[in-house]
Structure 1
Amino acid sequence: MVEGLTTTIHIASLVMAGWCLVSTFRDQPMVVPHLAGMTVLWLILIGQAVTSTVLITGGARPAEPVVFVSYLATVVLLPPACAVWGLMDRSRWGPAVIAVACLVLPVLMVRLEQLWGPAVA
């Protein structure tokens, strides 16, 4: 895993969460800029997933490979699933769904780092 990408994911995710929470408190539905922000976050996550896959293919092994891959799949699938849900819900709760997802992503990334760290030689 690339530490710089992980840090970028943390920052981008928390910024998106804050932005969506402000929209929720202002009683605004999800709009196209929210979707664009989630797309950028998703592309960064895909970059991390591809990098991790290349490192695993190259011989690096996380402590628990099956758990690592399942967390990685969850991290990659969470933003588009929540973006679709948030876009379909035209109330103030659409951005709230995105905010919750963006608050969960840093936790998942920390867990991925924990799984990756011990077995790397």
Structure 2
Amino acid sequence: MVQGLTTTIELVSLAIAAWCLVSTFRDRPMVVPHLVAMAVLELLLIAQVVVSITMLVGGARPPDTATFVAYLATAALVPPACAVWGFMDRSRWGPAVIAFACLILPVLMVRLEQLWSPGIG
């Protein structure tokens, strides 16, 4: 796990969540800039997946590798799934779905860090 990348994912995710919550409270549907922000977030997550898999293949392994891989896959799949769901819902709740996904990701990132280095935190 790369600490800087993990922190960037957490901060970007929280910023998108705040933006989407503002859209929800203003009764606005999800628009293309929301999708662009989610695409950027997904690219960061894909980078984290590639780095993590590279480290796993290189021999660095967390104590519970299966759980780590499951959390990593979940983190990579939540944003696209919620982006599709949010875009299909043309009401004010579309951005709320995105905000929900973006609030889950920092928790997943913290959990991934805990699994990678169980003595930390």
Query: Which residue of 1 is the match for residue 108 of structure 2?
Result: 108
Cα separation, 2, equivalents of 1:38 and 1:118: 30
- Structure 1, unaligned runs of 5 or more: none
Q: CA deviation at 1:118?
A: 3.1
After superposition, give the CA deviation of every residue in 1:69-90 in whole Å (9 maximum; x if it has no partner).
0000000000000000000000
Number of residues of Structure 1 aligned to a counterpart in Structure 2: 119
Paired with 1:63 and 1:23, the residues of 2 have a C-alpha distance of 41
C-alpha RMSD of matched pairs (Å): 0.9
Tell me which stretches of 4 or more aligned residues in structure 1 moved more than 2 Å. none
Instruction: Confirm or deny that 1:22 pairs with 2:22.
Output: yes
- Say whether residues 1:69 and 2:74 are aligned partners: no
Give the alignment of 1:6-17 within 5 angstroms. Answer: 6-17=6-17
| Letter of the 1:37 counterpart | A
* Partner Cα distance (1:96, 1:4) in 2: 27
The two structures have a TM-score, normalised by structure 1, of 0.97
Identity of aligned residues (%): 71
Distance 2:96 2:58 in 1: 39
Shift of 1:30: 0.2
* Aligned counterparts, 1:1-121, within 5 A: 1-118=1-118
Q: Which runs of 5+ in 2 are unaligned?
A: none
* TM-score, structure 2 as length reference: 0.97
